[in-house]
Chain A
Amino acid sequence: MSDAILRLTAVTRVHGTGANEVHALRGISFAAHPGELVAVMGPSGSGKSTLLTIAGGLDQPTAGAVSVEGTDLVGLSPDERARMRRTSIGYVFQGFNLIPALTAAENVALPRELDGIGARQARDEARRALEEVGIGDLADRFPDDMSGGQQQRVAIARAVVGERRLILADEPTGALDTETGEEILRLLRARCDTGAAGVLVTHEARHAAWADRVVFLRDGVVVDETGSSPVELLTEPAAR
């Protein structure tokens, strides 16, 4: 499976030292392939978010290797990791994390502009991305003037703009109602179906149903990894 877009190999992340030492991840190995949406589940403190920050190059593992599209993130400088986030990795957060001072189109264009391409081209790409997520008509609105669902669509458009092939979504539906949440997941799924790899951190079993594969974390280790069918078992470990 050398064509995996994201590959974590024996990744360990330790916070603090001595008595304050906390093992967030303990030797996790994990991969996401083109066209694949992987759901990561687990209780609070299981290391789901740490996994995502390490996969996105926002944090560095204490040990182990992380590669995105064949590039080893651990060996890169902060600048080079930032470039990876602009060109290869897209983030979607629970809190949307749009910049309120920028319009929807400008928020989407942000990674492209930060990458140094012309403002006009970046905005054209942003408008296309917004149309893809179904809100092309809201391009010039500011985030404060949009609903939660609309904001999250903008966030997804920002995560995919510029043909990025790895989408990391951290509880993207957490702040949305059920129906809007489903819409968002449908968008993510559609994006993966066109060849991107997606990692979806969630604690809702029904969202995992959109995934091709579910990885279950507990105390920083993968306790189970399966196809999409036996999801119910995973969400209710006590029933096993």
Chain B
Amino acid sequence: MSRPLSSTTRGGWRVALRLARREALRRKAQTALMLVLICLPVLAVTAAAIVWRTQDVSSAESVDRRMGSADALVESAGTTRVAQAFDPEQGSGWFGDERDESLELTDVLEVLGADRAAIPFTRDYLEFRTDKGLGSLETISTDLGDPLADGLVEPVDGAFPPGPGEVVVNQAVVDRGQGIGDTLTVVRQTPDGEQTFDLEIVGIAESAWSTGFEFAAGSPGAFGEGDPLTTSWLVGGGPVAWDQVRALNEIGALATSRAVLTDPPPTSALPPEFAQDDASVDQLTITVLALVVVMVLLQVVLLAGPAFAVRAKAQARALALVVAAGGTPRQARRTVLASGVVIGAAGGILGVVLGIGVAVVGVPIAQSFDTSRFGPFDVPWALLALVAAFGFVSAVMAAVVPAVSASRQDVVAVLSGRRGEGPPSVRSPLLGLVLLGGGIAGAVLGAGASSGAGANDMGAVLIAGSALVSVVGMILVVPVAVTLVARLSSRLPLTLRFAARDAARHRTRTVPAVAAVGATVAGVVALGIAVSSQEAANAATYQSQLPDGYGSLALSPDTDLDAVDEILARSVGADRIIDVEGIQTSSDDSELELEFSQHGEALLLSYWSTLGSPYAVAAEVPDHIDLPTADRERADAVLAAGGLVLLHDERAIDDGIQVPTLDGDQVTVDARRWTYDATGEGELTDLGSVDTPAVVIEMDRAAPSVALMAPPLVRELGLQTSVVGKLVRGPISEEAEDDISEAAAALPAAPYFYVERGYQPDEAVRIIQGVLAALGAILMLGGTLTATFLALSDARPDLATMAAVGARPRTRRGVAAAYALVVGGIGALLGAPVGFIPGMAISQPLTSGVGDASLDVPWLLIGMVVLGLPLLTAAAVGACARGRLPLTARVD
């Protein structure tokens, strides 16, 4: 330090960078901490970017799995003319007339040149017989021995390619119980009924497209023919140019060309229908992305801030000496900033390198969770350069505030060994309050703009922007909050009082840590409110079809009841099956219509049922319909009198249907039948009209039928009855549900098995919630831990003094826990209300689409974050901190 800093900027930076590098090497533990804080986000984003890019299969990367070694996959579209994007999967349109006769290969080769090799190729989604019933199956049928098909299928074991009557299957099929030598029965549902194909399994092969999903491949026609109007071929014989693709479109064929996908023509070559797709830049996505990047940057800066503050303070004496020896404040500032430059450069590069390493390990792990095959290992270098730059910028920004305070430090105070900082600024908290007000205003505007009439995308941007503004406002309020807590701490126990006062005395270290915790808590609270509100809205609008836990199987008259009973009895036991006798409402060519009316006015009723008919026939209310005794007696009385019970449930109420209160009043039942001829024309026949006593029973839960009709009433109307469905009393395990569904799929007309499990939150939402909670906890813990341990190293002299006057060794633990509690507690208390601003705002547009906008505040989550996490962190810090006090008697 004795050499004066160079007067030129470049020279000044050289000296500053050298000092920063030396300092980084000298304080290795602190440097490691700073590197970790900068490195980790860079590493995480790098690894995630690589896994995402590898998992994401581009059109060019998907060529082999889609067309093997062919030059093009040509599909007849069923119309006389089509249009397509470069990749028809990303956009295609049907024009012209419906084709009368199928497109032939000769038509295709007429366009492409007659000397090209071509083989028929079909990819289908069919079913196959399993031990329990029917399972889904992805199939490929083509000449697998032809070089054009190379790469579509990967042979693993046994014979390949399969000949006529033979098939290769993948491991997933083998896992379902059928191996080499067994017969695979493939089922194709057609309008004329079910076709089955018995094929001998000769080998095991995996699809190049997916793993894990049941797959079989056979020769052309092995699995029957689909719609003859939509056939497809693999075509070889050299590149197929974009002009040729357009020419194929003109005769009604879509073409996926290897040459076009790997080297696309300019977008100007696209047909006008698809031209604007590529040209439009999604302004909203970019804006939201920019806001997210800024928020993440802010969080990293806040987390790393304390470490830079402590380093700057460690250099304070040296900097004071520089200034005393004639250095300028700018030179002092530059010296601290250089720490950010050195750590940022090292952290950015290190993060990218380590991130690539993590991705190398992570890609196979991610693949094992995904049935779609990933593309080749893909490192997006340009993106990674941005990510590294992000790390660099965050480190430099983290050093800015310490650098500015270093340049403004009171040289005399530093040289005389006083360790505190001056009183906090009064202006910045005022600005903070203004920003918080602005945040609230923005959130209110955003909520208004993005919900209700005239909703637009600007609302989301406004809300995200208001979140950012609110968090910045909160950061500006933190110094005052920290000072206030210190002032109020005089009645607190010693360790807490010490921690609170010390935190306030070292604000450049404390404020970013508290702000990092606050920002994290704000984020968790905002997302928590948003997700809870959305879930609450979804749950509120959920309409159950059956009593909770019940299952139902809707049956048609020709269903084999014995087979159904056997399937159900096997999985859930015969004693839980309830037959529901009902009126047959529909057949192949007719439809029954029942109208209930009073004084000539039709009664509007719900008509949904998971059974084969909404009208059940019963002499008394069945046991499975849960009614209060009084209601049951009323209903039974009407049924005994040969009448009608209308079950009015929440579904009808939700539809806004008003049903008059009937209690034995006379109601007219009109029965009519619509009969349809071959052209679909309907004819209405009156079947009869009967006046009968009726009662309306309001149910507080779903009724499995809309009406219960007494047998004499049905007879009088001349209606036919049959078993319209089976109810299964719960509980029904997921396994039993799967078994019944699979078995029922194999029955004629494949009756659908429905199990009422109430509202089920989306699994993805739960995973996202879990990840967010974990991320929040990690960030909060990270922010608190770094601040605490940096504070402890700063407080070494004070701890030594405490030891000298008789502090127990464990006092250090107490002080550590108190620091964590102060940092975590203040951050959480400030962050939670700030999180309400965007949280409540975003709940509006999220929930307004599904009925009334609703707000559900997850108080338990907020309580855990605000009270639980700081206490937990304090306990963890207290347990982890070293218990030994520094034994220095003479500390200067």
Contacts and interface: CB of A to CB of B under 8 A. Distances in A.
B426 interface: no
Interface string A99-117: 1111000100011011100
Interface stretch (A81-89, A215-223, A226-234): A81-89
A91 B805 CA distance: 7
A114 B495 CA distance: 9
B806 A114 contact: yes
B213 interface: no
Contacts of B469: none
B448 interface: no
A170 B801 CA distance: 13
A98 interface: yes
Central interface residue in B494, B802, B806, by most chain A CB within 10 Å: B806
A99 B505 contact: no
A111 B805 CA distance: 6
B890 A94 contact: yes
Contacts of A110: 494, 802, 805
B419 A82 contact: no
A45 interface: no
Interface stretch (A10-18, A48-56, A187-195, A203-211): A48-56
A114 B494 contact: yes
Contacts of B808: 78-79, 82-83, 114
Nearest to B809: A78
Contacts of A115: 806
Interface in B482-530: 491, 493-494, 497-498, 501-502, 505
Interface string B153-167: 000000000000000
Nearest to B810: A79
Interface in A44-91: 49, 52-53, 56, 58-59, 78-79, 82-87, 89-91
B887 interface: yes
Given A97-B801, A102-B501, A86 B889 contact: no
B798 interface: yes
A158 interface: yes
B807 interface: yes
Contacts of A78: 808-809
Nearest to A120: B491
B803 interface: yes
A95 B498 contact: no
Chain A CB within 10 Å, residue with most, of B493, B501, B505: B501
A101 B505 contact: yes
B323 interface: no
Given A82-B803, A82-B806, A170-B889, 18 more contacts: A49-B889, A56-B804, A85-B806, A86-B805, A89-B806, A91-B804, A91-B805, A93-B890, A94-B892, A99-B498, A99-B802, A100-B420, A110-B494, A110-B805, A113-B494, A114-B805, A114-B806, A170-B890
B804 A97 contact: yes
A113 B505 CA distance: 22
B120 interface: no
A132 interface: no
A100 B809 contact: no
Contacts of A144: 418, 420
B678 interface: no
Contacts of B505: 100-101
A101 B503 CA distance: 9
B889 A85 contact: no
Nearest to A87: B806
A82 B420 CA distance: 28
B375 interface: no
Contacts of B887: 53, 58-59
A86 B892 CA distance: 22
12 contacts: A49-B889, A58-B804, A58-B887, A79-B808, A91-B804, A91-B889, A95-B890, A95-B892, A110-B494, A114-B494, A114-B811, A119-B493
Interface residues of B, number: 29
Interface string B708-748: 00000000000000000000000000000000000000000
B889 A52 contact: yes
Contacts of B889: 49, 52-53, 56, 58-59, 91, 93, 170
Contact of B802 (A52, A94, A114): A114
A84, A87, A114, A170 interface centre (most CB from chain B within 10 Å): A114
Contact of B797 (A97, A113, A114): A97
Contacts of A98: 801
B419 A100 contact: yes
Q: Nearest 6 pairs between A and B by C-beta?
A: A86-B806, A85-B806, A101-B501, A101-B502, A97-B801, A111-B805
B890 A83 contact: no
B805 A85 contact: yes
Interface residues of A, number: 36
Contacts of B1: none
B891 interface: yes
B804 to A, nearest CB: 5
B798 A99 contact: yes
A90 B801 CA distance: 12
B809 A79 contact: yes
Contact of B803 (A58, A95, A113): A58
Interface in B397-442: 418-420
B350 to A, nearest CB: 36
Nearest to B504: A101
A49 B798 contact: no
Contact of B497 (A52, A93, A106, A170): A106
A192 B806 CA distance: 21
B371 to A, nearest CB: 59
A102 B498 contact: yes
Contact of A49 (B493, B802, B890): B890
A97 B800 CA distance: 9
B142 to A, nearest CB: 79
A58 B804 CA distance: 7
Interface string A2-24: 00000000000000000000000
Contacts of B802: 99, 110, 114
Given A56-B889, A110-B805, A102 B419 contact: no
Nearest to A83: B806
A51 to B, nearest CB: 11
Nearest to A164: B806
Contacts of B493: 119
A208 B659 CA distance: 107
A82 B418 contact: no
B430 to A, nearest CB: 26
Interface in A125-180: 144, 158, 170
Nearest to B502: A101
B889 to A, nearest CB: 5
B805 A100 contact: no
B792 to A, nearest CB: 13
A93 B891 contact: yes
Contacts of B420: 100, 144
Contacts of B419: 100
Nearest to A89: B806
A114 B807 contact: yes
Contact of B806 (A84, A99, A101): A84
Contacts of B501: 101-102
Contacts of A53: 887, 889
Interface string B808-846: 110100000000000000000000000000000000000
Contacts of A101: 498, 501-502, 505, 798
A114 B418 CA distance: 25
A88 to B, nearest CB: 9
A85 B498 CA distance: 20
A208 to B, nearest CB: 20
B497 A95 contact: no
Interface string B774-812: 000000000000000000000001101111111111010
Contacts of B502: 101
B458 to A, nearest CB: 49
B512 to A, nearest CB: 19
A79 B797 CA distance: 20
